Every structure is written in structure tokens, then in C-alpha cells.
């Protein structure tokens, strides 16, 4: 049921600039990625897509990366609001799923629709407002989507001084991008 959310997220970010950052070395410019204001004094924490690390008998451990990105206070507030809306929708999804599992016969079609579209709504509500979205990540490299080309340029310039921290996708169709490290 999470598939549609990922597809919608991909649809939103596919026209954005795609970069690969080395999480341990990457730095974000002190400008707001949304309005390019230079008074970016608020740190907004962005999470990468999580991935399973090991399969245990009882639980699967999942890992993700978090990094703080400077935003101006106006845009940070906007992001916070969309996150609350998104979390609300996500909560409804979870509650709905429990209700469905409890009594599958009593579930109304409208409830099912809410579950099917609640998470995608969350993904869209949060992604639409963002200037920077993190994609898949390992401890060595992380895919980053940047909404504003000017901000992307600044990010590349800033990180190029740290030698090889940023890899731009050089060719279309993801040819020539670094292999996923193991
Ligand atoms: Zn801003």
C-alpha cells in the first residue's frame, strides 16, 4: 500500500536536480533552499529513505540518515505545518489498517480508500513543500533531489571544495552514476 506514495514522490521530484552526496562530508549552504533567502537560521532535519540492514528472527533493523538543512524561519514553519498534516494522515492510515485487520468483514470501502490513499497523501503533502528531498542512502553515498537549480549550483560549488563530495549525474537515464556501494 506504500507503492503509490513512492510513485507520487517520484513524479514530484523527477524534474528536480539529482545529486549524490557523501553523507559524512556533505555541507549545506547557509541559504534557504525554498526562497534562497540568506537568513537561513532554522535547521530542518531531513531523513533519507530507510533500508533494511539485517534480518533477525524477531525484528528487522532499519537504517536511515538524517541531516540538518538550513532554512529561513518562514519556510521552516511552512514545512512544519505540512509535516503535521502529513503525520495526521499517516496516523489515520495506521489506525485504519488496524481496524481492517480486526474485522475484515466490517470494513467499509471508504475506509479502505482512506488507507490506500492516506499514505500517498502524506507523501505528497510533505514532498510538495520541500526544497530538498533525500532518496536512498547508504553510509557512503546518498541520493539527493534539489528543487531549485540555483540552490543546487550553490550546493555543488560548496561541496566541490571538499573534493569529490558531490557527484553530479553526468548522463541521462542514470548512466554513469556511481555504483551502489556494498
Ligand atoms: Zn525560505
pLDDT tens track for 30-58: 999 999 999 999 999 998 887 776 655 56
CA gap 32, 36 in Å, rounded: 5
Query: Has residue 80 been placed in a domain?
Result: yes
**15-24, 38-47, 73-82, 145-154, range with the lowest pLDDT:** 15-24
Query: Has residue 94 been placed in a domain?
Result: yes
Residue 145 pLDDT exceeds 90: yes
Residue 149: all three cell numbers together: 537549480
Q: What is the CA(129)–ligand 1 centre distance, in A?
A: 11
Q: What is residue 3's DSSP assignment?
A: H
Residue-number span of the structural domain to which 132 is assigned:
3-171
CA gap 180, 182 in Å, rounded: 6
Q: What is the CA(34)–ligand 1 centre distance, in A?
A: 5
Q: What is the CA(75)–ligand 1 centre distance, in A?
A: 4
Query: Has residue 129 been placed in a domain?
Result: yes
Cα–chain-centroid distance for residue 101? 29
* Total tally of structural domains belonging to the chain: 1
Q: What is the CA(103)–ligand 1 centre distance, in A?
A: 46
Pairing between β-strand 42-47 and β-strand 166-168 as defined by DSSP bridges: unpaired
Neighbours of ion ligand 1 (CB under 5 A): 32, 34-35, 37, 72, 75
pTM for the predicted model, two decimal places: 0.71
Q: What is the CA(13)–ligand 1 centre distance, in A?
A: 19
Report DSSP letters for 69-126, one per residue: EEE-HHHHHHHHHHHHHHHHHHHHHHHHHHHHHH-GGG--HHHHHHHHHHHHHHHHHH
Q: Can you tell me which residue has the cell 537568513?
A: 39
Amino acid at each position: 500500500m506504500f507503492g503509490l506514495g513512492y510513485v507520487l514522490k517520484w513524479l514530484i521530484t523527477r524534474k528536480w536536480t539529482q545529486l549524490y552526496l557523501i553523507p559524512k562530508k556533505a555541507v549545506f549552504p547557509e541559504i534557504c533552499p525554498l526562497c534562497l533567502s540568506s537568513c537561513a537560521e532554522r535547521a530542518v532535519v531531513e531523513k533519507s529513505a530507510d533500508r533494511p540492514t539485517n534480518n533477525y528472527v524477531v525484528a528487522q533493523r532499519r537504517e536511515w540518515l538524517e541531516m540538518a538543512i538550513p532554512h529561513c524561519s518562514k519556510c521552516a514553519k511552512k514545512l512544519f505545518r505540512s509535516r503535521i498534516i502529513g503525520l495526521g494522515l499517516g496516523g489515520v492510515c495506521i489506525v485504519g489498517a488496524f481496524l481492517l485487520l480486526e474485522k475484515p468483514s466490517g470494513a467499509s470501502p471508504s475506509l479502505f480508500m482512506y488507507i490506500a490513499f492516506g499514505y500517498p497523501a502524506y507523501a505528497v503533502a510533505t514532498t510538495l513543500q520541500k526544497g530538498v528531498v533525500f532518496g536512498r542512502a547508504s553510509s557512503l553515498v546518498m541520493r539527493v533531489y534539489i528543487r531549485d537549480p540555483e540552490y543546487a549550483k550553490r550546493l555543488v560549488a560548496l561541496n566541490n571544495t571538499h573534493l569529490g563530495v558531490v557527484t553530479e549525474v553526468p548522463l541521462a537515464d542514470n548512466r554513469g552514476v556511481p555504483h551502489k556501494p556494498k
